[in-house]
Each structure stands twice: as structure tokens, then as C-alpha cells.
Amino acid sequence: MRILSGIQPSGKLHIGNYFGMMKPAIELQEQGEAFLFIADYHALTSVRDADSLRQMTMDVALDFLAAGLDPDKTAFYRQSDVPEVQELAWILSVITPMGLLERCHSYKDKTAKGLAATHGLFAYPVLMAADILSVQSTVVPVGRDQKQHVEVTRDIATKFNHQYAEVFTIPKPSIRDSVAVVPGIDGQKMSKSYDNTLEIFGAPGPLKKRVMKVVTDCKELEDPKDPTTCNVFALYNLFATDEEAVDLAMRYRAGNFGYGTAKKELLSKINEHFAPMREKRGELEKNMDFVEEVLRKGAKKARAETQKTLHAARKAVGLE
């Protein structure tokens, strides 16, 4: 099994990223041959400051290595360090039907949120297809809201294989359903777009302020409370053992238990969970040469696979 995942360096990684993508991706490195890339080309659709892009790219690298990614088990690389993907994206683009891209909800969603309606944003699924197909991945872990991108990739690969030659492996999506939607401090899905995140490696002071702002209902201290509808409990439950979750739920329902206390317990759980990773990240920051070497080696492995794929694609269409 060959697994490919990618993440954009478009802001500080948060708890939603961790449980939705980071943790599952790190766990998958034990189950097959793993490729994980930092999608800096994709980030150009929304990030317009060069220094910010460079910094956020390295932040993502530090975050994943601190969270447990093993570069001996996962080829970890910057998308921009594998230029063959761009040529492959063009080859795929000339056979991709406009109607297929026009049906993609991601473009509509992002332009509705204010992103510029650029060609890059519109053609995003083709570049994603090139990312996936370039290393001949068999499995692509995605959230349910991203399943369409893998379906588009499958359609493009099938069309190419039928029209030219059997060059591409047809990948399958692996839907991450094990973790429910992680709520942000306002109760919506945690997202940088909504500015409602709790950063994994945020400074203690700002993190505490954010946790204390998590939206709750207006019940009084003495009132019984429903843990199943509480954002604080939903976040606590991500970190707690079954016994701890049951205990907190009982205190909610018994009354005479305030949301402020629940938020303090949530903050304690967050700090306890991420403390070892924060310590490791601090150590990695002192050795950025090592981080660069990890990305260089990952890119070398990815390029070896991508060059074989590109050669086969070029030969199939008549460029070689």
C-alpha cells in the first residue's frame, strides 16, 4: 500500500488539523509506504506574502516532526522541491474536461469566502491529481469534504489510461470518519478561515485566553448541563480517556459545575497532551539544518518515483 497525504502551509496548525489530518497521517506511516508533502504550490492560491509562505512552510515541517513523523518511514517533502509534478499537471490538464472542474465544490466554496477567482484556484484539482498520481499512490486519506478531489483524480487517471496507455494507478480515497468535526471556539468547525482555532504550539498565555472564549450556553452554575451539546466537552473528549469523559459528563449533569471549571480542565488536557511535542519542537528549532535535510531526502525519494511516472506519461503522449 502506498499512501499520499498533503497539507497546505497557510497558517498555524491547530487542534482540528491535528486530529483531522496530522495524527491519522502519522499513524498511517506504520501501515504502508508513506509520502507526505507540504503543499506550498497549492498555498499560492491564498498566500501572497513570500516571507510568510517560507515561514509557514518551515512551521509545518517542524510541527509534523515534533508530532511524531518519522522521516525513515515517511518521505516528507516540499511540493515545490518536486518540479516534475508541475509538468505532469500540464499533461493532465489538456485531457481534463472543463465540466469536471466546474462541478468541483471547493472552487465555489473558496470564492464565496472571498478568495480571488484565479485560474490556479480553478485548476487546483488538476495539480492535486498530479500530486497523487505522480508517486502512483494507491490510498489517499481525506476528510469526507475532500473526497471529491480524489474522485476527480480517479476520473482524470482513467481517462488518460484509456486514451493513451495504462500509466497511472487508480487511487482509492480512505475517508477519515473516526474523528467527528472538531469545534472551534465559536462552535463552528475549527478552521483558520473562521479565526476560531486553538493552536497546537501556541504560547501559553494566548492559548489560555482562547480556551476561555469557547462558546457555551447561558446556564447558571447550579443548573444541570448537557455535555452532548457543549463545545468545551466535545474538545475535552478528544483528549480524555473514556473514564475521564464519563466523569466529566456526570459532573455536567449533576449541576453546581461551571463552564469555567470545564475550560480549565480542557486547557490542562491540551497542555498535557502537547507538552512533549512542544519540547521536541523547541529542540528542532535549534537544528534547522536537520529539518532541511529531512525535506531534501524526502524530495529525493519522491522525485525518483515522480520521474518514472513522468517519463511514462511523456512517452505515452508523444513527448519522448
Give how far Cα 79 sits from Cα of 37, 39, 51, 180, 264, Å: 6, 5, 17, 29, 39
Beta strands in 10-65 (DSSP E): 33-38
Tell me the CA distances in angstroms from 231 to 156, 193, 225, 262, 288, one per residue in order. Answer: 40, 19, 12, 10, 37
91, 314 contact by CB (below 8 A): yes
Whether residue 108 lies in the annotated active site: no
Helix (H, G, I), strand (E, B) or coil at 124: helix
Answer yes or no: 264 catalytic: no
Q: Which residue in 249, 291, 239 sits closest to 269, CA to CA?
A: 239
**Alpha carbons 92 and 82: distance in angstroms, whole number:** 16
Catalytic residue among 23, 147, 159, 189: 189
Closest CA to 269 of 310, 234, 294: 234
Q: Which three cell numbers stand for residue 126?
A: 488538476
List of residues 6+ apart from 300 with CB closer than 8 A? none
Asked if 192 is an active-site residue, the reply is yes
Contact status, residue 253 vs residue 284, Cβ threshold 8 Å: no
Just list the catalytic residues. 110, 189, 192
